A and B are shown apart, each in its own frame.
Chain A
Amino acid sequence: MGKALEMKGITKGFPGVIANDDVWLEAEKGQILAIVGENGAGKSTLMSILYGHYQPDQGEIFINGKKELIDSPKRAIELGIGMVFQHFMLVPTLSVYENIILGLEPVRGLAIDRQEAIEKCDEVVKQYGLDIDVTQKVGELPLGIQQRVEIIKALYRKAEILILDEPTAVLTPKETQELFTTMKELTNQGKTIIFITHKLDEVMAVSDRITVLRKGKTVGTVKKTETSKEELAQIMVGRKVVLRVDKKDKDPGETVVVVKQLCVEGKRRSGELKNLSFEIRRGEILGIAGIEGNGQTELLEVLTGLKKPKSGSVEVCGSTVSGKTPREIRERKIIHIPEDRHKRGLILNFTVQENLIAGIHYKKRFATRHGFLKDAAVSSNADELIQRFDIRGGGKQVSAGSLSGGNQQKIIIAREFNQEHEFLIASQPTRGVDVGAIEFIHQKILESRENGKAVLLISADLNEVMSLSDRIAVLFEGEFAGVIEAKDATEMKLGLMMSGVGGSLEGEGGGRNVTDS
């Protein structure tokens, strides 16, 4: 059908990093090209170049066989390139149609022609079967619908090449299927789609060809029909990847954590916890799966003392914990890995050394009775933890913000595991972390389990949840859509529960109980 896009010899460097190193890429018209690679492989930079956000240091770009210079997003749009970002580029206080026409507004006299704008948007919506009310405010729409708005934005500007950057990160399995259907429909109408992801299942499901990036270089291009998930994983990482974790059989002891009828206000309706109940025993990992935004944040906040529940209780080792302050909770031997290390987990402007005592900085170990910090103790603590947990990036005196994501996460892990604990809460512990650190972090979590602690694992990564947990509960709109033993879990079962379909094995209706069977 002809090559819609060719990128030849693209090289792009930043201070200290070569993000793209002689990358070659081509996509045929009417096809879906998947670009896969780990975090940091250079996918986002490459697409930013294609979208005119950056200029390559070397290399050329051809659109439909003609060499083009893409020096701004405006130019990229003119050339028919439309980008759907992973973090939506939508203004939440504006309506759908206002977001769509932004920059291309039809006018009548001095004012924007609202009528025409809405009509034009509706046209596009109908043509591609995307079913949306364009007058709604974007901020009020569910994430799956917001993504559709992003796609319509690109189509409104007559995009012929659509770039989708990690589109399924915030979608339920059902919404993901709908997205794939839309993608097929678009290619049927002659559009070319470039689909960036690190999820190999999806690659195998929907793409025609696949280009693999590793450490900034192109390491291979294959047809979907001629490869497999395992082969792709190997090319991505450069070595054989173990996709499952070794775990001893569970031997749980007494019940440590009791959550009863927890009701918590949510940031959105979907985050509101409704009569949640569960228990966790010693030596057991309860995994909570689910798409982000279904109450995980709220649950974490209540368990760590950042929020008070509307009603219900949380008891750990016999004493009530709900409604207590974060400091009191930590004093009761409950440690946690927060879901957003930049927002909650680390003080980025503090040094590594200072971050390693955050939360326990006032204790006798690090502070005198009169409130003075013991510099020597703080320093030697940092030395020890950096060594034990292999934290790399410049030593204890550099600011935490300058470390890589994996090492930042290690700071948090080192700090938390340095405290005696009975209950560990790990939320999205390996998000944005490279493979080497992931293995390390998983190991530490399992260690807690081996040592007879109770562990709550909250994660949007199904593989992680399935391989680490003993039992798995799926959160959907603030309630448990189902609870099963890990050994009985399959991606399909969990996927259905994550989209609200399917029942639990114990009881139905509201207030599902997650207790050990």
Chain B
Amino acid sequence: METFLVSFTFIIMSAIRIQTPLTIGALGGMFSEKSGVVNIAIEGLMLTGAFMAVVVSYVTGNAFFGVLGGVAAGTALSFVHALVSIRYKGNQTISGTAINILAASMTVYLMRLIFKTEGITPPVTKLPAWGIGNFSFNPVVYLSFLLVPVSWFVIYKTRFGLHIRAVGEHPQAADTMGIKVEKVRYLAVMISGALSGLAGSYLSLGDGDTFQRNMTSGRGFMALAVLIIGKWHPISIFIAAFLFALADAFQISIATVINIPNQITAMIPYVVTLIVLAGLIGKSVAPAAVGKPYNKGER
């Protein structure tokens, strides 16, 4: 019984950690998509944020500055996506894919340049753990919890949030009411970049203390799946993220207990995602104008 309780707590604690980048990434994606811009670049933005966080931590010796660096990097790169999607009306899925490719190469390129390695950076100052005894997590974890109600408030209670929702569902209507559609979308995309960067910082400075090439390994796409399963709503996003984190934590634990090869258990989160998506769609409705560039002349 005691071992069960211990493993149970262990799983919950792991889940709390694992959900962090998923929740934060998905919330970021929510801002972008609610305003009408598809953002599949969460993966690349996370990776960039993870890298820059390590760089800044390396240079300043301070992990908090590192996190800020990660956020800034994510915001800056997302601006490129915003530019291509909004100003130049390029296909948003393709732009997102390009950002992912760019980020993967760019981070390794810079890693060689700055750290003279190509696999893993030297360790840097990481984030502290706050809490009591075993229940301690780094600040970003707590932040992920906080961001859920904050996001909810922004989207559903503030003027900016109302504008985002209007622009994502019916940009022409918003335009006729004097709302600057493009400006709202730029801001929303950059918020998603900031949050993705934050999620990335968690991975490099919170979970570990280095950056490795491709360290996000699909978590950005998992965040996207969480966004869809969470029906673009902060609370459901958090629940979905937590459930996936539980599945993942569970998978890691049983791999040691039961004799299933770890490659098979590693598949579990992805398969579970597919199953949930299959059962769910038909009731999951994206913002109506998502993915379509806004053309003023169209009515």
**A interface residues (Cβ-Cβ under 8 A, vs B):** 51, 53, 72-74, 77, 83, 85, 87-94, 98-99, 102-105, 107, 110-112, 153
The answer to whether A85 and B176 touch (CB under 8 A), given A90-B170, A112-B157, A112-B158, is: yes
Residue with the highest number of chain A CB atoms closer than 10 Å, among B162, B163, B170, B176:
B176
- With an 8 Å Cβ cutoff, the count of chain B residues facing the other chain is 21
Contact of A93 among B158, B165, B172, B296 (CB under 8 A): B165
A74 with B178, Cβ < 8 A, contacts A90-B173, A91-B170 known = yes
0/1 per residue, B53-71, Cβ < 8 Å to A?
0000000000000000000
Q: Which 7 A-B pairs have the closest CB atoms?
A: A74-B178, A89-B173, A103-B177, A111-B157, A91-B170, A102-B177, A105-B159
Instruction: Kindly list chain A residues whose C-beta atoms are within 8 Å of the C-beta of B170.
Output: 89-92
Q: What are 27 A-B pairs with beta-carbon distances under 8 A?
A: A72-B178, A73-B175, A73-B176, A73-B177, A87-B299, A88-B173, A89-B177, A90-B173, A91-B165, A91-B166, A92-B169, A93-B165, A93-B288, A94-B162, A99-B173, A102-B162, A102-B163, A102-B173, A102-B177, A103-B163, A103-B178, A105-B159, A105-B162, A110-B153, A110-B158, A111-B158, A112-B162
Q: How far is the CA of A350 from the CA of B9 in the complex (A)?
A: 61
Q: CB within 8 Å of A: which residues of B?
A: 153, 157-159, 162-163, 165-166, 169-170, 172-179, 288, 296, 299
Given the complex, which residues of A lie within 8 Å of B175, measured CB to CB? 73
Instruction: State A104–B163 Cα separation when bound (angstroms).
Output: 11
Q: How many A-B residue pairs have CB under 8 A?
A: 67
Cα A74 to Cα B173 in complex, Å, equals 13
Whole-angstrom distance between the alpha carbons of A419 and B153 in the complex? Answer: 59
| Residue with the greatest number of chain A CB neighbours at <10 A, chosen from B158, B163, B170, B179 | B170
Closest to A110 in B: B158
B20: shortest Cβ distance to chain A, in Å?
26
Q: Which of A87, A90, A112, A153 has the most CB of B within 10 A?
A: A112
The smallest C-beta distance from A108 to any residue of chain B, in angstroms, reads 10
Specify which chain A residues have a CB less than 8 angstroms from the CB of B296 in the assembled complex: 53
Considering the chains assembled together, what is the distance between the CA atoms of A363 and B77 in angstroms?
52
Contact in complex: A103, B158 (CB < 8 Å)? no
A77 vs B177: C-alpha distance in the bound complex, in angstroms? 8
Residues in A whose Cβ lies below 8 Å from that of B173: 88-91, 99, 102
Say whether B166 contacts A102, CB under 8 Å.
yes
Report chain B residues within 8 Å CB of A74: 178
Contact B157 A103 (CB under 8 A): no
Check B176–A89 contact: CB distance below 8 A.
yes
Complex-state Cα separation, A51 to B153, whole angstroms: 33
B165, A73: Cβ atoms closer than 8 Å? no
Q: Which residues of A contact B169 (CB under 8 A)?
A: 91-94
Establish whether residues A107 and B178, one from each chain, have CB atoms under 8 Å apart when the complex forms: no
> Are A102 and B179 in contact, CB atoms less than 8 angstroms apart?
yes
Task: Tell me whether A89 and B165 are in contact (CB under 8 A).
Answer: no
List of B residues within 8 angstroms of A111 by Cβ: 153, 157-158
Q: Is the CB of A94 within 8 A of B178?
A: no
Q: A98-B162, A112-B162 are in contact. Are A73 and B178 (CB under 8 A)?
A: yes
Give the docked Cα–Cα distance between A370 and B159 (Å). Answer: 61
Contacts of B158 in A (CB 8 A): 110-112
A98 to B170, CA, bound (A): 13
What chain B residues lie within 8 Å of A51 (beta carbons)? 176
User: CA of A137 to CA of B172 in the docked complex: distance in angstroms?
Assistant: 18
Q: Nearest-CB distance from B137 to chain A (Å)?
A: 28
Contact of B166 among A87, A94, A110, A112 (CB under 8 A): A94
Contact B299 A85 (CB under 8 A): yes
- In the complex, what distance in Å separates the CA atom of A110 from the CA atom of B153? 9
Q: For the complex formed, measure the closest distance between the CB of B31 and the CB atoms of chain A, giving whole angstroms.
A: 17
Chain A residues lying within 8 Å of B288, measured Cβ to Cβ, are: 92-93
Give CA–CA (A488, B288) in the complex, Å: 45
